[in-house]
Amino acid sequence: GAVVSQHPSRVICKSGTSVKIECRSLDFQATTMFWYRQFPKQSLMLMATSNEGSKATYEQGVEKDKFLINHASLTLSTLTVTSAHPEDSSFYICSARDHGDVGELFFGEGSRLTVL
């Protein structure tokens, strides 16, 4: 199957700092990538849909100025958590499809963010 790589896998930062998470499709071009957040023992929550060359589409309740998404190329999307606070600590996962709207999602390895 297609491979999606996410980096870093774990990051610890101080409150008030910004953290960037990268999501790369290694063997296919992804015009659309998805960013999810998952709190312990809860399901995946879609945060935003990242579209190559255009602005991301954010889900209701997700602050676009806090969670900056950039999808500058067909193989890379980045999520920047700005001015992070302890409540932003979570597991962030990106995913992509390699065939438009159909087919399975391939997930990155996930990034565990801990804000002190």
Q: Which residues bind another protein (CB under 8 A)?
A: 1, 6, 42-46, 91, 93, 95, 101-110, 112
Closer residue to another protein in complex, CB, 80/91: 91
Closer residue to another protein in complex, CB, 13/45: 45
User: How many alpha carbons lie under 13 Å from residue 41 in its C-beta half-sphere?
Assistant: 0
Grouping H, G, I as helix, E, B as strand and the rest as coil, residue 31 is coil
Closer residue to another protein in complex, CB, 19/108: 108
> Which of the 8 DSSP states describes residue 9?
S
Give me the least distance between CB of 83 and another protein, in Å please: 26
Closer residue to another protein in complex, CB, 67/106: 106
Give me the least distance between CB of 64 and another protein, in Å please: 18
Give me the least distance between CB of 44 and another protein, in Å please: 5
C-alpha to C-alpha distances, 21 to 10, 46, 69, 99, 102, nearest whole angstrom: 10, 16, 10, 24, 26
- Which distant-in-sequence residues (6+ apart) come within 8 Å of 46 by Cβ? 34, 35, 36, 59
